[in-house]
Amino acid sequence: MWNTIRAWFKDSETIAWARLQMLGGAVLAVIATTDPSLFNHYIPERWLPLYVLGAGVITEVARRVRAKDM
């Protein structure tokens, strides 16, 4: 089963991270659409800059894991 999961992500941490972000975005979009007050309850606005920074750092780390020339 693990090999199937790795194959779906093409054995790439960057692709796995991107798909996880897409899933999270889809879940948040559904929450914001069904009841917008829940969106602010789950993700306060003050955390948004930290999320963006953290996502960028994780993306860069995942990319560099595969790039041996960097």
**Predicted confidence (pLDDT) per residue in 7-23, tens digit:** 777 778 888 888 888 88
Mapped to the 3 state alphabet, what secondary structure does 18-55 carry?
A: HHHHHHHHHHHHHHHHHCHHHHHHHCCHHHHHHHHHHH
Looking at residue 32, what is its pLDDT?
72
**Predicted confidence (pLDDT) per residue in 24-60, tens digit:** 888 877 877 787 776 666 667 777 788 888 888 988 8
**Owning domain of residue 8:** 2-66
C-beta atoms surrounding 12 within 10 Å: 15
The structural domain count of the chain equals 1
Looking at residue 51, what is its pLDDT?
81
Q: Between 3 and 40, where is the model more confident? A: 3
Rounded-to-integer distance, Cα 48 and Cα 3, Å: 34
Looking at residue 69, what is its pLDDT?
64
Q: Between 41 and 66, where is the model more confident? A: 66
